[in-house]
Structure formats: structure tokens, C-alpha cells
């Protein structure tokens, strides 16, 4: 291997060219000399994604597998400008999910494009919401592939929790950013947050829409419902793209709680009596 090739350049930053070759399979041949013109930051950003992919794959990295060229293109084009740690986790998880024995399955390309389109705030909000859905409903008999059961997974998330989990600083317009997250994730069918505001407003709207099944809340916050596509995206982003959405709340499914995001336990509750 020539020291100036793309594979050698990326491999030296990712911990070895063999790691890149094992992840990509034959697609590693697409790493040409164009990487010579990259800045050090771009190389390091992509190398970080490959390191996270390697961590997700674990011993599975030694099994036969490949990544389609279209998927690699998204990682190089968009991932090289990704300097947010959680977004890099999403890129790495999707890349790990996209590695298949025959290298034909290129669904990861669409999930990577989606990740590139979302803001870092929206990705963080998505991760927070689906981590909370898992915490509250894991081990239940709910079936996320059925709309009637999906509705039962609606939760109340207090603003006080979001302030901590979103890691807002005093210089960031937290309220505006939350609205940006709510509307953007809804537009992509990744999350349904139809009501937010003070407790009085939430209880009024909740009682109106849910009736006697409504569980009153005591503070300001957001009502959030998962979507089937939002579950799929979460599974792909955490390296579990091979898992069907029906298993989302299965207690035997091990999903990572990433250290980049601290999500408190207090105040999050289901809003419907089960």
C-alpha cells in the first residue's frame, strides 16, 4: 500500500488501514488520492466515524461484510464536516448498520443523508426522546409496529429535563431551539410533539384529546409520541439496523446510552393510563 493513498491516509488516523478495509470490504478501493487534498480536520472527522463503527461492530468486524459505495460517499461528503460527537455517533452507528454480507443493501445512504440534513440540536432531541421511550416502556407488551400501541407510548418530558439533556448554555435561545427541534423532527416523521407549554395548557389539551385515560402533569414541558420511522432511525443510528422495530421495547435488546448526553430520570411520565 502506497503511503499517500486514501486508504493509508484514513487508516493512519483511524487506527490502521485494516480496520477500514474490514468495514468497507471491496469498497475500500474507492478511497483514492483525493484525500490528499483534505484538511487534517476532515480526515480526523471521518476517522472518528470509522472508529465508532468499529466499536459498534465489535467482534463482528471480522465477519464477511461490505459497505456499498453510495454509503461510503455519504460518509466522505458529509461526515468529513461533522465535528459534533453525538452526530458522529449517529454516522458511525448507521455505517455499522449498513455493513452486510453481500454489500448490496444501501439503505444506510438514505439514513446518512437524513443525518446530514438534521441540525445537531435535532439529532440530540431525537436521541433524548427515544432513549426516554425505551426507559419507560422497555419490557412492556406494547408493539411499536401497531399504531394503537404506538399511541400508548406518549410521554411527558419536562422543560427542566430538556434544559439539562440538551446542554443549553445561557447564550443559546433554548425555547427557540426546542421549537426548531419539534417542528423539524415532525416534518421528517421522526417524532410527534403535538402539544407543549405550561401544565395548565397541557392538562386541558390532554383531557380534551385523551379523556379519562389522561394522566395529569404538574410542570411545563412537551408531550412526545414516537413514530415508526423515528424508531427505525434510532435503531440504525445505534448500530442496530438489523433489528425490527417490533423489538424496540424488548428487554433483551441492548441499546447504548451514549455518554455524550446526560438524560436525568426525574419528571418523565407516560400520559395515558395503561
Q: What is the per-residue pLDDT across 30-84, written as a single tens digit (0 to 9) for each?
A: 998 889 899 999 999 999 999 999 999 999 999 999 999 999 999 999 999 999 9
Q: Which three cell numbers stand for residue 130?
A: 427515544
CA 121/CA 173 separation, integer angstroms: 12
DSSP H helical segments within 83-224, as ranges?
85-97, 107-117, 120-137, 147-151, 159-165, 174-187, 199-210
Q: Convert the pLDDT of each residue in 116-162 to its tens digit.
A: 999 999 999 999 999 999 999 999 999 998 999 999 999 999 999 99
pTM across the whole model: 0.94
> What local confidence, expressed as pLDDT, does residue 187 receive?
97
Q: Which helix (H) or strand (E) holds 196?
A: strand 192-197
Question: For residue 265, what pLDDT is reported?
Answer: 83
CA distances in angstroms from 130 to 14, 87, 162, 234, listed in the order given: 29, 15, 13, 7
Residue owning grid cell 465508532: 52
Q: Is the dihedral of CA 179, 142, 263, 196 positive or negative?
A: positive
Q: 136: number of CA atoms within 13 Å, CB side?
A: 26
Q: Quick check: 48 and 88 in contact, CB under 8 A?
A: yes
Cα-Cα-Cα-Cα dihedral of 16, 21, 22, 27, to 10°?
150
Best mean pLDDT range from 1-15, 236-250, 256-270: 236-250
Return the percentage of the chain with pLDDT > 70, whole number: 99
The pLDDT value given to residue 3: 46
Closest to 43 in 3D by CA, of 85, 68, 3, 6: 6
Gap between the Cα atoms of 176 and 214, Å rounded: 28
182-200: pLDDT as tens digits: 999 999 999 999 899 999 9
Quote the mean pLDDT of the chain: 93
Q: What percent of the chain has pLDDT over 90?
A: 85
Q: Are 154 and 274 in contact (CB under 8 A)?
A: no
Cα 32 to Cα 70: distance, rounded to the nearest angstrom = 15
**Residue 1: pLDDT over 50:** no
Whole-angstrom Cα distance, residue 76 to residue 81? 9
Q: How many CB atoms lie within 10 A of CB 190?
A: 25
The structural domains of the chain, with segments of one domain joined by +, span 6-117, 120-270
Amino acid at each position: 500500500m502506497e503511503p499517500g493513498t486514501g486508504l493509508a491516509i484514513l487508516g493512519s488516523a483511524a487506527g490502521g488501514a485494516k480496520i477500514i478495509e474490514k468495514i468497507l470490504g471491496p469498497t475500500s478501493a474507492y478511497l483514492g488520492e483525493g484525500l490528499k487534498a483534505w484538511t487534517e480536520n476532515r480526515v480526523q472527522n471521518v476517522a472518528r466515524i470509522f472508529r465508532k463503527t468499529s466499536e459498534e461492530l465489535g467482534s463482528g468486524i471480522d465477519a464477511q461484510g461490505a459497505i456499498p459505495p453510495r454509503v461510503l460517499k455519504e460518509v466522505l461528503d458529509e461526515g468529513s464536516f461533522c465535528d459534533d460527537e453525538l452526530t458522529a455517533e449517529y454516522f458511525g452507528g448507521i455505517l455499522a448498520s449498513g455493513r452486510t454480507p453481500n454489500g448490496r443493501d444501501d439503505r444506510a445512504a438514505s439514513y446518512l443523508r437524513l443525518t446530514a440534513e438534521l441540525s445537531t440540536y435535532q439529532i440530540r432531541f431525537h436521541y433524548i426522546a427515544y432513549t426516554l421511550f425505551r426507559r419507560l416502556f422497555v419490557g412492556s407488551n406494547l408493539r411499536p409496529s401497531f399504531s394503537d400501541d404506538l399511541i400508548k407510548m406518549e410521554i411527558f418530558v419536562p422543560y427542566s429535563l430538556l434544559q439539562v439533556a440538551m446542554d443549553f448554555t445561557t447564550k443559546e435561545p433554548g425555547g427557540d431551539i426546542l421549537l426548531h427541534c419539534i417542528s423539524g423532527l415532525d416534518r421528517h416523521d421522526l417524532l410527534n410533539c403535538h402539544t407543549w407549554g405550561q401544565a395548565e395548557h397541557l392538562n386541558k389539551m390532554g383531557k380534551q384529546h385523551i379523556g379519562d385515560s389522561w394522566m395529569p402533569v404538574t410542570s411545563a414541558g412537551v408531550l412526545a409520541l414516537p413514530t415508526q420511522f423515528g424508531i427505525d432511525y434510532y435503531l440504525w443510528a445505534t448500530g442496530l439496523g438489523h433489528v425490527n422495530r417490533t423489538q424496540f421495547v424488548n428487554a433483551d435488546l441492548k441499546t447504548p446510552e451514549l455518554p455524550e448526553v446526560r438524560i436525568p430520570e426525574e419528571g418523565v411520565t407516560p400520559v395515558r393510563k395503561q
